[in-house]
Chain A
Amino acid sequence: MNMSKVVFGFFVLLAATLNFGFVLGEIDNPAHHNVYELFAALVIALIATVMKFGDRSQLGAVLLASGLVSLLQLLAAALIWSIAVHISDAGLTPAMMASIVSLSAGALLANLLGVVLMTLEAAGIAR
């Protein structure tokens, strides 16, 4: 067993699961989506992306690309959240919430792709 592979898999998977947990719930209901969950998803996505850096293989390149996509989407979601809470006068309206959740749902797609790719690679090695 390769410890670095475990750590790598852990972070990629955790990024996907946290993201999934945040997206789960009614899309425009702020009570269903916790800000800390978004924060955790963002931090873990950052770490996962940094860990993907420097892999020269074709698969590594796609993994890095998926990581960058999810990061971008989550950053946009966090930005909208801060704008909604601190800058706009209306506060966290259902419409704002919906766009935050849909952005992070996009990130979830990219994260899931990353997990699938990682699984494929692992399966390839096992064979």
Chain B
Amino acid sequence: MRTDSLLFVFFRRMRVPLIMLISAYAIATLGFTLMPGVDDQGRPWRMSLFEAFYVVSYTGSTIGFGEVPYPFSSAQRMWTVVSIYLTVIAWLFSISSIISLLQDPAFTRAMRRSQRSRSVRGLSQPFYLVCGHGDTGRLLVAALTGSGHPVVVIDWVAEKIETLEVEDLGAPVTAFTMDAARPDNLVEAGLRSRWCAGVIAVTGDDQTNLKVALTARLLNHSVSVHARATQAEVADNLRSFQTDTVVHPVEEFERRLELALHRPDLMRLYNWMFSGPHARPRPLRPLPEGRWIVCGWTEVGRVAVQQLRTAGREVVLIDPDAERPDRPSDYPDAAVAGTGTQAETLHAAGIDAAVGLIAAGNSDANNLSTVMTARQLAPELFVIARENGHSMHELFRAAGCDLIAEPAVVVAGVMLGRIRSTLVEPFINGMLTEDNAWARLLLARLLRQQRTAPPELSAGRISARRAPALVRALKAGRRVTVGDMLRNPRRRDRALPLTLLLLHREGENLLLPEADTELQVGDRLLLAGRSRDAAQVQSMLEVDGVLDYILTGQRRPQGWVWQRLAGVDAETGRAAD
């Protein structure tokens, strides 16, 4: 609802009290002009309409200046009594109507909504539109506001929005209680604003996410769209219209399990970098060879069975419907009927000889119970558990799982990684083709930079606008390498704790370029490291003096006046001979 229509609603509801008020004032004013009075010389006198209106105005508002301009006659005093009761009652009625209107839930809802639309229109820096405030949405909002981006949140559950309003976050958050599947609601939440940098669809419903992604694609061409899909066909549908990021949690689980099976260090690296800002580099023991038990024939269970078999592991499935008549083609031959929560079933599946277990059920309580029972029977077991709701995370941790498949965190992490820049996608693709030794080296290098928090990704382009000093130097024919760029602008013999992950040049992606790679105008760069270190690179890109110091080790005077005094040619930055 727009603000002006809110005004109309107000006046429509206030029509009766307003007319009462006008009538009361009119009657009181008219009455005063008709009452016979006496002036200070004892001559008969009647108030003019103006004087009458003056008297009514101060009696009606209970200010009461007394009897002006002359003491009232009895008739005038009688009328004063009448007009006091008339106007005061009219006022009381109007005020109580206004109060009841302001307390009307429908009206307050409309008012708050229009207030929020106004605050979205007032945003003047890039913001993100997050649809759905579940586990994933909450993580995303916390991470985005943590890095200083305003966020607009849409969820149709009022309680979730209300909890958001009392949270203390690092950037302005505007929250709407409405259905994200309706395009006009998205527009109201600022989809068409030129500051809208990205739309993130993480509602619990695939169809809603699909609609949000479609609406965003059609109504704002410059916005980046990120969506979650729990079904494979919806994920394909989303990819068919250039959705920037489509996260299918099962696919992501498959990717990470495959990495864990074949390239554990790459798995650690990937998991650390793309699981949100609170991810920690955890040690990961290799997945042992031998018999694995998979509990539950769910999407995740099916993927787990497939991956384990491809990796040459023996798989036993525990499935309540193991006796099913129409077994799918990829159903394992060794299947035990029952649930993994009971010791007998686990024994029947041969837990004594097993080396690993994957709890892939749809219920967190059952998965937890399975993990705990299995741990008691075989303490050395490698346990992977699927977590359905993020609120159970602490319990899974306490139960001692080696790996936890946490869809909420994974979805948020993958989206956050890719939101930073379009270069992240090619980096991930390139990284996934590398081998374990490469990953181990990169992980060690990144861990030297920072011990716990995952590196923040920042992107840049060597253009005249973003990097004026560097472009001038390159155009003047000077040689600047990647290693030069990452030197500390205060002490050039030291390197900044940054890693250049990717260099994009004329459609080609160079993964982890060597330090002696020469930079060119038009290169796009993806840096990993703390954002405050990345900000230091910025000074080298923008300030001629800093760049000069890094390249030559000499501190040249900065500013036109000092350069003149030192006899430096301002154009080339070189000392005149």
Contacts of A47 in B (CB 8 A): 19, 22-23
Contacts of B48 in A (CB 8 A): 35, 82, 85-86
B5 beta carbon closer than 8 Å to chain A: yes
- Given A43-B26, A46-B22, A47-B23, does the pair A86, B50 have CB atoms closer than 8 Å? yes
Q: How large is the interface on A (under 10, 10 to 19, 20 to 34, 35 or more residues)?
A: 10 to 19
Q: How far is the CA of A85 from the CA of B29 in the complex (A)?
A: 17
B30 touches A39 (CB 8 A): yes
Contacts of B49 in A (CB 8 A): 35-36, 39, 78, 82
A51 touches B19 (CB 8 A): yes
Contacts of A39 in B (CB 8 A): 26, 29-30, 49
Q: How far is the CA of A39 from the CA of B50 in the complex (A)?
A: 10
Contacts of A43 in B (CB 8 A): 22-23, 26
Q: How far is the CA of A6 from the CA of B239 in the complex (A)?
A: 61
**The one of B12, B29, B33, B51 that contacts A53, using a Cβ cutoff of 8 Å:** B12
A56 beta carbon closer than 8 Å to chain B: yes
Q: How far is the CA of A43 from the CA of B48 in the complex (A)?
A: 16
A54 touches B15 (CB 8 A): yes
Contacts of A59 in B (CB 8 A): none
A51 touches B30 (CB 8 A): no
Say how far B98's CB is from chain A's closest CB, in angstroms: 14
B8 beta carbon closer than 8 Å to chain A: yes
**The one of B8, B15, B30, B50 that contacts A85, using a Cβ cutoff of 8 Å:** B50
Q: How large is the interface on B (under 10, 10 to 19, 20 to 34, 35 or more residues)?
A: 20 to 34
B50 touches A53 (CB 8 A): no
Contacts of B5 in A (CB 8 A): 56
Name the residue on A nearest B51 (C-beta): A86
The A interface, classified by DSSP as helix, strand, loop or mixed, is: helix
Q: How far is the CA of A82 from the CA of B33 in the complex (A)?
A: 14
A50 beta carbon closer than 8 Å to chain B: yes
Q: How far is the CA of A36 from the CA of B14 in the complex (A)?
A: 27
- Given A85-B50, A86-B48, does the pair A50, B22 have CB atoms closer than 8 Å? yes
A54 touches B50 (CB 8 A): no
A50 touches B50 (CB 8 A): no
Name the residue on B nearest A44 (C-beta): B26
Q: Which residues in chain A, 28-69, are within 8 Å of chain B measured between CB atoms?
A: 35-36, 39, 43, 46-47, 50-51, 53-54, 56
Contacts of B8 in A (CB 8 A): 53-54, 56
Say how far A107's CB is from chain B's closest CB, in angstroms: 17
Contacts of B12 in A (CB 8 A): 53-54
Name the residue on A nearest B50 (C-beta): A82
Contacts of B13 in A (CB 8 A): 54
A54 touches B22 (CB 8 A): no
Say how far A122's CB is from chain B's closest CB, in angstroms: 21
Name the residue on A nearest B34 (C-beta): A36
A53 touches B11 (CB 8 A): yes
Contacts of B30 in A (CB 8 A): 36, 39
Q: Which of A46, A54, A78, A85 gathers the greatest number of chain B CB atoms within 10 Å?
A: A54
Name the residue on A nearest B8 (C-beta): A54
Contacts of B33 in A (CB 8 A): 36
B9 beta carbon closer than 8 Å to chain A: yes
Q: Which residues in chain A, 63-90, are within 8 Å of chain B measured between CB atoms?
A: 78, 81-82, 85-86
Q: Which residues in chain B, 17-53, are within 8 Å of chain A measured between CB atoms?
A: 18-19, 22-23, 26, 29-30, 33, 48-51
Q: Which residues in chain B, 165-193, are within 8 Å of chain A measured between CB atoms?
A: none
Contacts of A56 in B (CB 8 A): 5, 8
Q: How far is the CA of A43 from the CA of B30 in the complex (A)?
A: 11
Q: How far is the CA of A85 from the CA of B53 in the complex (A)?
A: 14
A50 touches B29 (CB 8 A): no
Say how far B196's CB is from chain A's closest CB, in angstroms: 30
B18 touches A50 (CB 8 A): yes
Contacts of B9 in A (CB 8 A): 54
- Given A39-B29, A85-B50, does the pair A53, B22 have CB atoms closer than 8 Å? no
Q: How far is the CA of A36 from the CA of B12 in the complex (A)?
A: 29
Q: Which of B14, B19, B30 gathers the greatest number of chain A CB atoms within 10 Å?
A: B19
Q: How far is the CA of A86 from the CA of B19 in the complex (A)?
A: 29
Say how far A36's CB is from chain B's closest CB, in angstroms: 8
Say how far B26's CB is from chain A's closest CB, in angstroms: 4
Say how far B536's CB is from chain A's closest CB, in angstroms: 58
Q: Which residues in chain A, 83-109, are within 8 Å of chain B measured between CB atoms?
A: 85-86
Q: How far is the CA of A84 from the CA of B30 in the complex (A)?
A: 20
A54 touches B11 (CB 8 A): yes
Name the residue on B nearest A79 (C-beta): B50
Q: How far is the CA of A34 from the CA of B14 in the complex (A)?
A: 32
Q: How far is the CA of A47 from the CA of B49 in the complex (A)?
A: 18
**The one of B11, B26, B51 that contacts A50, using a Cβ cutoff of 8 Å:** B11
Contacts of A50 in B (CB 8 A): 11, 15, 18-19, 22
Name the residue on A nearest B30 (C-beta): A39
Say how far B49's CB is from chain A's closest CB, in angstroms: 5
Say how far B529's CB is from chain A's closest CB, in angstroms: 57
Q: How far is the CA of A46 from the CA of B20 in the complex (A)?
A: 11
Name the residue on A nearest B23 (C-beta): A47
Name the residue on A nearest B26 (C-beta): A43
Q: How far is the CA of A51 from the CA of B50 in the complex (A)?
A: 25
Q: How far is the CA of A21 from the CA of B48 in the complex (A)?
A: 20
Name the residue on A nearest B22 (C-beta): A46
Name the residue on B nearest A61 (C-beta): B8
**A-B pairs with beta carbons under 8 Å apart, 13 shown:** A36-B49, A39-B30, A43-B23, A47-B19, A50-B11, A53-B12, A53-B14, A54-B8, A54-B11, A54-B15, A56-B8, A81-B50, A82-B49
The 4 closest A-B pairs by CB, nearest first: A54-B12, A53-B11, A82-B50, A43-B26
- A-contacting residues of B (Cβ < 8 Å)? 5, 8-9, 11-15, 18-19, 22-23, 26, 29-30, 33, 48-51
